[in-house]
Structure formats: C-alpha cells, structure tokens
Amino acid sequence: MVQYNFKKITVVPSGKDFIDIILSRTQRQTPTVVHKGYAISRLRQFYMRKVKYTQQNFHEKLSTVIEEFPRLDDIHPFYGDLLHVLYNKDHYKLALGQVNTARNLISKIAKDYVKLLKYGDSLYRCKSLKVAALGRMCTVIKRIGPSLAYLEQIRQHMARLPSIDPNTRTILICGYPNVGKSSFINKITRADVDVQPYAFTTKSLFVGHTDYKYLRYQVIDTPGILDRPFEDRNIIEMCSITALAHLRAAVLFFLDISGSCGYSIAQQAALFHSIKSLFMNKPLIIVCNKTDLQPLEGISEEDKKLVMEMKAEAMKTVIGQGGEPTNGDGVLLTMSTLTEEGVIAVKNAACERLLDQRVELKMKSKKINDCLNRFHVAIPKPRDQKERPPCIPQSVLEAKAKQAAQMAEKEKRKTEKDLEDENGGAGVYSANLRKNYILANDEWKDDVLPEILDGHNVYDFIDPDILQRLEELEEEEGMRQAEEENEDFKMDGEELTPEEQAALAEIRKKKSLLIREHRMKKSTAESRPTVPRKFDKDRKFTTERMGRQLSALGLDPSLAINRARGRSLSRRGRKRERSLDKGDNDAGDAMDMDVDQQNKKLRIRSRSRSRSKSRPPGEVAPGEGFKDSAQKVKALKLAKKSVKKRNKDARRGEADRVIPSLKPKHLFSGKRSIGKTQRR
C-alpha cells in the first residue's frame, strides 16, 4: 500500500539563499590558499576543483528538489487531480521543468569551463575563469528564483493537506453546504472540524478515523457542493468532486429535510441527480438529517416523492445477483446530529455496506481462486449417539463458587464514596463519624452530648480523678517554687551596718534607674538623633558629677578623674599622652624633664622600640594552647611540611580562576576572518 506523506519534502530555499548556501559551502570545503609561485598544473587543479565542487553542490540540491516533489503522472489519480485543482498542474510541471533545465545548464557550464581551465597559462587567467564559471552558475539560479518561490509555497500547502490513503476502507460524506456533514464526522470520529451556522465553513478535505468490527475506517468530510455547471464550480467544490470521482468509498449523501440550511429538498434532489454519475459502483446511502426539526413523515407529498426517487437511484447501487437490487435496508436512513439519534446506526450501516462490497469484489477477483485451494475446512462427524458433556473438576467449581461469593459480598458492601453518590454527591452528603463508635447500646451513637447537666459543666466530670490530679499539680508547683527560692541568693540587710544598708539601697535604686533609662533609649534608638557632647545642655556625664557621686560613696575620685581626662580627645589644647612602658628603666629620668622635651623624646624612643618590642615567632602567647615555645616551634614546622607537597604540585582548586584556552579555536580559526559575505 502506497503512503503519501508530503510533510517530508525538504524546504526549497529562495534564489539568493540558494547561492549563499552553495558558495559558502565551496569556500569552507575547498582549499583557499594559493600562490603565483606554484606550478601551473597545481594552479589549474586548484581552480578546477572549486568549479567542480560548486557544480556538484548545485546538482545535488536541485536533484533533491526535483525528486522529492511528486510526479503527477506517477501518483494516485486522486492526488493527481487534487494537486491539479489546487495548484494547476501546468504551472507545477513548468516550475519543476525549469529547475531541471537549470540543473542541466549548470552541469554544461561546469564542463565547458573545466575544459578552458585545462589550458589556463597563469594564475590570473585561471582565477578569472573560475569567477566567470561561478558567476554564470549563480545567474542561472537567479533566473529560476520565481519558480523556486512557487515550489516553496506549494510545499507549505501540501504539508497541510490531510494524509488520505486512497486504497483503504473509506466513508465519504457529501451534500449541500450547512446540512450537518461536519457535525456527523465530529460525532463518530475524534476529528475536530469547525462547525458554524453559515455555508462553506469547511473549505478543504478533513479526515477522521473510526472503528467497526475491529477494522479501521477512514471518514472524509468534503466541502459543500452547489447545483451548478461543472465549469462554474470553484476550487472548494472541486475538492469534493475529485474525492467522489477517484476514491472507492461508501458515499453518504446528506439531505436536510428541515430546510434550515437555506436550500429546499428540490434543490438538494437536483444536485443529487446532477452528480449521481459519480456514485456508480459505490455503496450509496441517503441520510435525512435534522429530524429533530422536521421528521421525515411530516414533509409534503412532493418532497416525499423526490426523496423516494433518490432512494430508487440508491437502490441501484446495492450489489446483488445479476446486478438486481435484492435488499433495500440501509439505503434511506434518518438521524439528528443534535440529539445523536440514529448517528451510530448510520455509521454501522455505511461500514457494513462498504465491507460487503469489498468482500464481494474480492470474491469475484482471480486472486480468490489462488487462495481457496490452500484452505481446507474440516468438520468433525459424531461417532455415536452418546452425549459427552464437559468435565470440570470439583476443586475448580469450588474455587469459582468462592470467588463468586467474594464478588457478591464486595458488591453488597457500600463504601463512603457509594453512599455519597447515592445521597446527593459532594457538598450535600455528610459522613456520619459516630457510626463506628463502640458503645454498650448502638442506639446511643446518635444521642446528643449535653453541655450543662443539673447546673454543672459536664466536661468537669468526665475524668473522675480530676480533683486528685489538681492537688498533685499544686503540690508539685509549690515544691518547685521552694527550690527556686533556695537557689536564688538575695542579700539581706540584717548582716550589714546602717551605712552599708544605705549604700546598698542607693545602688539598687541607681541600678533600677539605669535599667529604665536603657530600655527607654533602646525603644527610641532608631528615631533619636545623635547629639554631640558639646551640645548636651544637661551635662549629665561630667567629671565633677562623677567625683561627687564617688565621694558620696566614700571613694577617692582623683584617679578616675585623671584617667578620664587623660583619655579625652575633645578638650582643646591638650594632646593624648603616651603611656610609658612599665619595664622602662629611664622612666624616672623622663619625669624630671619639661613637658615638650619629654614628649619629643618619647616619640623618638617609641619609634625605635616598635620593632624590638614585638613578640618572636617561637614565643607562646596566652591562649594559644601550647605548653612551651619548643612545642610551638615544632607545630609550625609540621604545618609547613604538610603544605609543602601541595604547594609543589601547584594544584588548582574549584575556586581558582581558570582560563581553559587563551585562543579559542572558534574565534581564531577559519578562512574568512575578515570581510563580508558578499566579498568572495
């Protein structure tokens, strides 16, 4: 069986793209470096290779175009006529002929210039001949540019054509526009054909597939046909005529007996008689659609007479012995695609009629004789009158009975989902959560639990030992509080003198005040601006205030005041003095000097002492975890030794910066590093 798949046709490039593809490939696939110092034979071979390679590429591409497009004389007549209707086979053949002529011309040009290149006497002469050869080839391709564009449009349209097998079992639907053809194919197949309440909604052939008796049937929906001369029909109608003429199929002629399609029964009958020659030797069924609007019995006598005449014509297509119609069933059927009444009956009748015809034709063919002599049907004969019923073992019967009982029990048991479906579905049915309660009496399951009984809260008496447990909790809480009181240390005033008690009270008061101020500052820290001390009008933090507070506590404030003044940097005319080293032997002499000489000498000695006073590497600092300096030196040596091998290998880690290649090949290689595409 021949399958036609027009979607596999290669894209046809335009004339300019064709030239760019071929010349770019020639530039990339052939050598490009040549010098005038080469031998003349090498120069000739260099340019002859370019001309031959270009000709071969043109020949391959054009041959692909010619071979992949179907030849109208070699394919099935249905597709031949369909392509002729859609694209005009004269234009189609002319375009392919021009491509074939261009292919031959390019081969001839290459042959002529290769002959001339054999006698080239210089680099300039050979290069000029190569340029002329490639230029003439490109000129030929430019001249067939319109034909290439036309073939590309045909390829795109052919790729959208439905894949129809002309030799398989086919059901063909035809009739006037808007009589329900597309609605019928949507009902019996999975096709999705657009259905609208106006004429000529279907503008091309649509294909769907359905099954009947384990066989696949192809259903074709054709555009509507109008009753007018053959020459006046447009391309849309000619698609239907082509399908009716060439496909061996069961034909369903749809008849709108309600007249809602805009055409009367008389007009539809006239169309039937005008195209009845296309129904010869094909199973034909008259389908009266839209019976929900107008039943067949309710039409007028004239219309009924026309319908009977069409039925008589359809009876002639019934295959019988001697060519006479023997069975009139399934010739005139009624249905409604809206209510789906009679839709399956129409499909089954069409499939059965088509199957009978195909079987009858095969039985009449010569091939059946070659097949029948290979078959032998053996029918057994009884040897006596004794009945021999089937013997089934008892274990099998018991297993079947047990399985049947389990299935019956499973069917009897209703799940919550079944109950939900029976009682209104989700949102209506509410599951009873109490039906599985284990109580002394099943009648108590649905009783309402009271909240107040005899003036008491029922939940207070659910646990009979609740008062005892409450006492135990209170005792445990008391014990914990006593333990916490013993653990906390609070200073009592009984052990202190009256002066110490007054100082303790002052300290506690001050502490609570500071905590309160800190909390206030913390709560307003984001919105409170920072005020320099010189703008602080309250002067809360001063040395005089600190001195008074320390004196009130009985402490000497002189050391604290001197230390605060020594560290202050905001006082004018006073520099921060360097603190002397405790181990300095000259500290006593320095104190005898005046202030200026003292500061100058301290600066000089501090600079000279900055390096000498630093700690050596082996000295142990507090908190480093070494026992002595020897242990620290040994640890440093082991650390250096451990990293020595790694440093020697100089391994790169994942975090190290890596440049894989300083000169990437795709950026620094190729024959066309400069210039544009046009400069070849």
For residue 442, pLDDT over 70 is answered with yes
- Contact between 560 and 549 (Cβ < 8 Å): no
Question: What is the distance between the alpha carbons of residues 218 and 171, in angstroms, rounded to a whole number?
Answer: 6
Architecture of domain 15-160: Up-down Bundle (1.20)
466 Cβ neighbours under 8 A, 6+ residues apart: 460
344 Cβ neighbours under 8 A, 6+ residues apart: 188
| Max mean pLDDT range (11-25, 74-88, 227-241) | 11-25
The residue that leads in pLDDT, 215 or 198, is 215
Going from the C-alpha of 611 to that of each of 578, 584, 614, the distances in angstroms are 17, 16, 6
The pLDDT score that the predictor gives to residue 593 is 42
- Contact between 307 and 255 (Cβ < 8 Å): yes
pLDDT per residue as tens digits for the range 301-335: 888 888 888 888 878 776 543 445 555 567 888 88
> 288 forms bridges with which residues in the sheet?
255, 334
pLDDT per residue as tens digits for the range 219-270: 988 888 887 777 777 777 787 788 777 788 888 998 888 888 888 888 888 8
Give the confidence band of 542 by pLDDT, cuts at 50, 70, 90.
Answer: confident
Please state, for a pLDDT cut of 90, what percent of the chain lies above it.
Answer: 18
Local structure of residue 221 (DSSP, 8 states) = E
What burial class does residue 390 get, using C-beta atoms within 10 Å of its C-beta: 0-12 exposed, 13-18 middle, 19+ buried? exposed
Question: What is the distance between the alpha carbons of residues 69 and 99, in angstroms, rounded to a whole number?
Answer: 12
Q: What is the helix (H) or strand (E) element at residue 333, kind and residue range? A: strand 332-334
Distance of CA 295 to the CA centre of its chain: 50
pLDDT per residue as tens digits for the range 156-188: 888 888 888 888 888 999 888 888 888 888 888
Question: Which of these, 566, 593, 586, lies nearest to 578 by C-alpha position?
Answer: 566
The pLDDT score that the predictor gives to residue 164 is 83
Query: What is the torsional sign of CA 429, 433, 435, 436?
Result: positive
Q: Please report, as a single letter, which amino acid is at residue 144.
A: I
The C-alpha angle with vertex 357 and arms to 352 and 359, in degrees rounded to 5, equals 95
The pLDDT score that the predictor gives to residue 380 is 84
The residue that leads in pLDDT, 549 or 485, is 549
Question: What is the distance between the alpha carbons of residues 78 and 615, in angstroms, rounded to a whole number?
Answer: 104
The pLDDT score that the predictor gives to residue 328 is 59
Give the confidence band of 680 by pLDDT, cuts at 50, 70, 90.
Answer: very low
The pLDDT score that the predictor gives to residue 677 is 53
pLDDT per residue as tens digits for the range 360-399: 888 777 777 777 778 787 888 888 888 888 889 999 999 9
- The pair phi, psi for residue 567, each rounded to 5°, is -90, -10
Question: What is the distance between the alpha carbons of residues 343 and 191, in angstroms, rounded to a whole number?
Answer: 16
| Max mean pLDDT range (35-49, 270-284, 665-679) | 35-49
**Whole-prediction pTM:** 0.50
> 289 forms bridges with which residues in the sheet?
256
Instruction: Classify 254 as helix, strand or coil.
Output: strand
Task: Report helix angle 145-159 to 15-29, nearest 10.
Answer: 100
Local structure of residue 649 (DSSP, 8 states) = H
The pLDDT score that the predictor gives to residue 1 is 40
Gap between the terminal Cα atoms of the chain: 50
Give the confidence band of 50 by pLDDT, cuts at 50, 70, 90.
Answer: very high
CB atoms within 10 A of CB 331: 22
- Contact between 188 and 208 (Cβ < 8 Å): yes
For residue 583, pLDDT over 50 is answered with no
The pLDDT score that the predictor gives to residue 595 is 43
pLDDT, averaged across the chain: 80
Question: What is the distance between the alpha carbons of residues 290 and 293, in angstroms, rounded to a whole number?
Answer: 6
Question: What is the distance between the alpha carbons of residues 517 and 545, in angstroms, rounded to a whole number?
Answer: 18
Lowest-confidence region among 141-145, 536-540, 567-571: 567-571
Bridge pairing between strands 215-221 and 206-212: antiparallel
Range list of β-strands (E), 62-140: none
The pLDDT score that the predictor gives to residue 532 is 63
For residue 590, pLDDT over 70 is answered with no
325 Cβ neighbours under 8 A, 6+ residues apart: 315, 316, 318
The residue that leads in pLDDT, 470 or 104, is 104
For residue 581, pLDDT over 70 is answered with no
Structure tokens at 253: 């002629």
Q: Span 639-666, mean pLDDT?
A: 78
pLDDT per residue as tens digits for the range 20-31: 999 999 999 888
CB atoms within 10 A of CB 253: 23
What burial class does residue 226 get, using C-beta atoms within 10 Å of its C-beta: 0-12 exposed, 13-18 middle, 19+ buried? middle
The residue that leads in pLDDT, 455 or 46, is 46
Question: What is the distance between the alpha carbons of residues 306 and 302, in angstroms, rounded to a whole number?
Answer: 6
The pLDDT score that the predictor gives to residue 341 is 87
Instruction: Classify 189 as helix, strand or coil.
Output: coil
3-state secondary structure 353-389: HHHHHHHHHHHHCCHHHHHHCCCCCCCCCCCCCCCCC
Tokens 């491509």, residue located: 99
Please state, for a pLDDT cut of 70, what percent of the chain lies above it.
Answer: 84
DSSP per-residue codes, 265-292: HHHHHHHHHHSGGGGTTS-EEEEEE-TT
Q: Span 565-569, mean pLDDT?
A: 65
CB atoms within 10 A of CB 661: 8
Question: What is the distance between the alpha carbons of residues 351 and 330, in angstroms, rounded to a whole number?
Answer: 11
Question: Could you tell me the residue ranges of all domains in the chain?
Answer: 15-160, 170-365
Helix segments in 394-497, DSSP class H? 394-412, 416-422, 466-487
Structure tokens at 132: 């002329």
Q: Span 521-536, mean pLDDT?
A: 66
| Max mean pLDDT range (129-133, 423-427, 628-632) | 129-133
Question: What is the distance between the alpha carbons of residues 77 and 71, in angstroms, rounded to a whole number?
Answer: 11
> 286 forms bridges with which residues in the sheet?
253, 332
Length of the chain as a residue count: 680
Distance of CA 175 to the CA centre of its chain: 42
The residue that leads in pLDDT, 591 or 298, is 298
For residue 640, pLDDT over 70 is answered with yes
Q: What is the helix (H) or strand (E) element at residue 417, kind and residue range? A: helix 416-422
CATH of domain 170-365: 3.40.50.300
Going from the C-alpha of 622 to that of each of 183, 619, 625, 626, 629, the distances in angstroms are 96, 10, 8, 9, 12
Question: What is the distance between the alpha carbons of residues 457 and 451, in angstroms, rounded to a whole number?
Answer: 6
Question: Which of these, 15, 30, 19, lies nearest to 135 by C-alpha position?
Answer: 19
